[in-house]
């Protein structure tokens, strides 16, 4: 993943950001909680972090709900949301 070893700089920054989130107990807990609430589906549908009572349920889709974003786009939005915590 390191750019000096032939990896892309974008991938390297993603790995660094993941380490930053997961190495901090508070950030890791927030990240785990967001995943437990189905955050990736909710981000794809709403474009922001849902409150716990409006989180999308995995496998459930309401009428008019948008098609889920790519995993990379959802991951970028998740990183942005976690960085605001």
Window from 5-9, 66-70, 81-85 with minimum mean pLDDT: 66-70
Coil vs helix vs strand at 7 = coil
Other beta carbons within 10 angstroms of residue 48's beta carbon come to 11
Helices 71-83, 25-36: axis angle to 10 degrees equals: 130
Based on the structure, what is the number of domains in the chain? 1
5 within some domain: no
Q: What is the largest CA-CA distance in the chain?
A: 47
Q: Is a pLDDT exceeding 80 seen at residue 4?
A: no
In terms of residue numbers, what domain contains 37? 25-83
| Residue 44 near residue 62, CB atoms below 8 Å | no
64 within some domain: yes
Model pTM score: 0.39
68 within some domain: yes
């Amino acid at each position: 993943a390191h750019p000096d070893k032939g990896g892309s700089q974008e991938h390297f920054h993603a790995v660094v950001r993941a380490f930053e989130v997961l190495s901090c107990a508070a950030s890791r807990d927030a990240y785990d909680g967001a995943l437990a609430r189905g955050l990736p589906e909710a981000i794809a549908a709403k474009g922001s972090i849902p409150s716990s009572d409006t989180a999308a349920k995995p496998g459930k889709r309401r009428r008019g709900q948008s098609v889920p974003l790519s995993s990379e786009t959802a991951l970028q939005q998740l990183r942005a949301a976690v960085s605001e915590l």
